[in-house]
Every structure is written in C-alpha cells, then in structure tokens.
Amino acid sequence: MCRRRTRPPRPPAASPWRGPPHDLPHASGRAGAGRRPFPDLDPRTDRMIFPRRALLGAPLLAFPALAQEGYPNRPIRYISPYPPGATNDNTSRLMSRALTQRLGVPVVVENRAGAGGSVGSRLVAGAAPDGYTLLNVSAGNLTVVPHLGHAGYDPLRDFTPVALTGDSFSLFAVHPSLPVRNIAELVAYAKANPGKLNYSSAGIGTAGHFRGALLAEEAGIDIVHVPFPGSAPAANALVAGDVHMMFDPIAAPHVRGGRARAIAVFGDGRWDEFGDVPNAVEQGVGLEWPSVGWFGLFAPARTPAHVVETLNAHFNAALEEPEVVAALLRFGLRPRTANPAELGERVRREHAAVGDALRRLHIA
C-alpha cells in the first residue's frame, strides 16, 4: 500500500500591504507591545508601508485647498429671471461680459423668465452652492415677490448676497395721447375718469406693479394694473397705446424716440439723461415709499466665502470701468458697490418694509 506523501504547508505569500510583526521595535526604540507602528517598516526592503486608507485619503486632504485656488475653472451660468430686452437682461449681459474678461472663464447669460422673476430665482435657490450658478436680482425678486405666496423660495435663507450693481431709476411714462405732463395733471385726469386708466408692468409683484399700487393709494385714484411677462412686452403695449402708462426704466428709449412721455422719475434724485424731468418726490409723491429700485448679484445659500469674495472683488472692479458705468447709466442704474454683509442687511430691511406696504395695499 502506497502512502501518500503530504507536503508541509507553504508560508503565506508576501503582500505589499502586509506589515511586519507587531512585536518589532517601534520607532521610539521600545517594543510595539502588540501595536502596529505607523508608518510600518518592511524588514525586507527598509521601506515604509502606509495603510491603504491613508493613501486613498491623501488626495482628499488637499481638495479644499485645490478648490479654493482653482475657482473658477469652468463656465458660470448667469441667470436673468426676465425675458430678453428687459432691464434685468440688459444688465445681466453687460456684467457677464465684464466678469468673463476678469475671471477668464465664460460667464453665460440664461433667461429663465416667468412669475414675476420667481422661476429663475427658484432655479438659483436650488442650485449647487459652488459659485457656478448666479442670479441677477432685481430688488422685487427678493423684497416683493416672496410676499405674494407663489415664489417657492425664501429670500432671506436661500441666497447668499454677492455684490450690488447699483440703484435704479424708473421712469413714470405715459402714452403721448394722454393729456398730462406731470403727476398732478395725471391725478386730476384719473379722478375725472375713475377706472378708465391702466398701467403695464413686467408682472405681478414687480417694482412697476408696486409703484402703481402705491401711487393709487397715496393719490386716491382708481387705475387698473395690466401685468405682462416682462418689461419689454409691457413697454411695447405702452407704445402701441394698449395701456396708458408704466413705471419702468425700459421706457427710456421710447421717451428718447418720442413714442412715450416721461412725467416723473422715481429713484435717488434726477436721472442725468432726463434732467428736465422732476423726481416724483419733488412733485410731492412717494416720499415715504419703501425702496424697490436696485440690482445685485446673488448666489445659492452656503456658497463658500472664498467664492463670494472672489466674485465681489471682480464685480466691484468692473463697476469702475468707464464703459460699464456709461452703459448702466443708459439702462437707468447709478453704479454703487457694497460688500455682501451690507447687501444682505439691505435685503432684510427692505423685505420687511415692503411686506408691510403690500399687506396694507391688500396685494399680499
């Protein structure tokens, strides 16, 4: 009978991830006492052996620094919550070009219009807070529309203030067929024709809607609001004679061309280009109205501080360029800078004041 010879078991194959026995001397010179020293020393090669978890985690340790130094490194979406041709769209395209030159990456305007600017605002509120989706805000997006119940975002919690573009003027413009040349004459005509005058706006809850409602309350007149999906169609309706008046800076080119008549300016002082048109306050109207006239840049909440600081610095620098200043003045904005904290405080203050006025007017 043959006996089967059995081989002794082979020692386990050496593994590049296997460390030395636990009782090898520690780097301090004393025994490891059952603990694996770190880093391990391979007795065959005298090379250090690092645990796999340490090696895999090494790139993650450097990631925050790389992210901070690398912003921006891809195209940025610049959301205008109004249609092409609106003042918000015009300022978006102007500032996106300036930022493209300064940041070295494409800053691309996307028009996401609807619901008084809330569609585009809601998109940015839900975007990743990485600095690659930004919102060009007209003040009413954050101070008026959220009070109306359909915005779908919280203006105080869902956004990070980045930079102020400037304070905006607004023209109180009427169709040339209307026999009025100042606010007093307009009020007298409206009282003689109650409910027969109407005004257009870029939508429910926009600055133009708000100003018309405030004028009706203060002057005690009955005028009808006709909302449109943006400033451009609202202005076209004025020029066509479909409405009698509007409160919007987009009326400026139509006033220049004689297709509309400006009877007042809303904003801080007089608009240089229309220096012969008195401010509404000079005519005794709007002294106590809350401000709704400014534009600014916002990002989603929790956007990193270094991203906000980078954008604020380049945005403010762009506001000093003569070409940018001239274009903004043409659009009806007086350039003005602010840091993120100042802009955030302005939103909080005006959001509260506008809310009180809207409830009083039974709009909200």
| Residue 31 counted as domain residue | no
Residue 208 tokens, joined:
């133009």
The more confident residue out of 249 and 76 is 76
| Residue 110 counted as domain residue | yes
| Residue 153 counted as domain residue | yes
* pLDDT tier, 230 (very low <50, low <70, confident <90, very high otherwise): confident
Contact 42, 96 (CB under 8 A): no
> d(Cα 96, Cα 106) in Å, to the nearest integer?
8
Residue-level pLDDT at 67: 42
Contact 108, 316 (CB under 8 A): no
Residue-level pLDDT at 269: 87
Lowest mean pLDDT among 33-42, 104-113, 141-150, 304-313: 33-42
User: Where are the strands (E) in the chain, listed by range?
Assistant: 40-41, 48-49, 76-80, 107-111, 133-138, 159-168, 170-174, 197-201, 223-227, 245-247, 261-266, 294-300, 333-335
Residue-level pLDDT at 204: 84
For residue 297, the cross-strand partners are 136, 163
For residue 223, the cross-strand partners are 197
Pairing outcome for strands 197-201 and 245-247: parallel
Amino acid identity of 68? Q
* pLDDT tier, 1 (very low <50, low <70, confident <90, very high otherwise): very low
Residue-level pLDDT at 214: 94
Residue 323 belongs to domain with CATH number: 3.40.190.150
User: Given 283, 307, 337, which residue is the final one in a domain?
Assistant: 283
State yes or no: pLDDT of 317 exceeds 90: yes
| Residue 80 counted as domain residue | yes
**What is the CB-side half-sphere exposure of residue 356 using CA atoms within 13 A?**
9
Residue-level pLDDT at 81: 95
CA 273 to chain CA mean position, Å: 28
Does 113 share its domain with 145?
A: yes
> d(Cα 231, Cα 212) in Å, to the nearest integer?
14
User: Given 243, 259, 283, which residue is the final one in a domain?
Assistant: 283
State yes or no: pLDDT of 268 exceeds 90: no
Each residue's pLDDT tens digit, 43-93: 444 444 444 434 344 433 333 333 456 999 999 999 999 999 888 999 999
Does 182 share its domain with 156?
A: no
| Residue 247 counted as domain residue | yes
Does 184 share its domain with 121?
A: no
Averaged over 116-133, what is the pLDDT? 96
Does 136 share its domain with 224?
A: no
For residue 163, the cross-strand partners are 297
The more confident residue out of 221 and 47 is 221
Query: Residue for token digits 């996106």?
Result: 96
* pLDDT tier, 267 (very low <50, low <70, confident <90, very high otherwise): confident
> d(Cα 83, Cα 91) in Å, to the nearest integer?
12
Residue 266 tokens, joined:
């809303």
Does 148 share its domain with 217?
A: no
Domain assignment of residue 354, given as a range: 72-167+293-360
Q: What is the count of structural domains for the chain? A: 2
Does 273 share its domain with 298?
A: no
Residue-level pLDDT at 287: 81
Lowest mean pLDDT among 72-76, 260-264, 330-334: 330-334
Residue-level pLDDT at 69: 60
Contacts of 80 (CB under 8 A, 6+ apart): 86, 88, 89, 92, 109, 110, 111, 112, 113, 120, 136
Each residue's pLDDT tens digit, 160-190: 999 999 999 999 999 999 999 999 999 999 9
State yes or no: pLDDT of 259 exceeds 90: yes
Does 188 share its domain with 334?
A: no
Residue 242 belongs to domain with CATH number: 3.40.190.10
| Residue 176 counted as domain residue | yes
Average of per-residue pLDDT values in the chain: 84
Averaged over 113-125, what is the pLDDT? 93
Does 153 share its domain with 202?
A: no
Does 174 share its domain with 278?
A: yes
State yes or no: pLDDT of 275 exceeds 70: yes
Averaged over 222-244, what is the pLDDT? 95
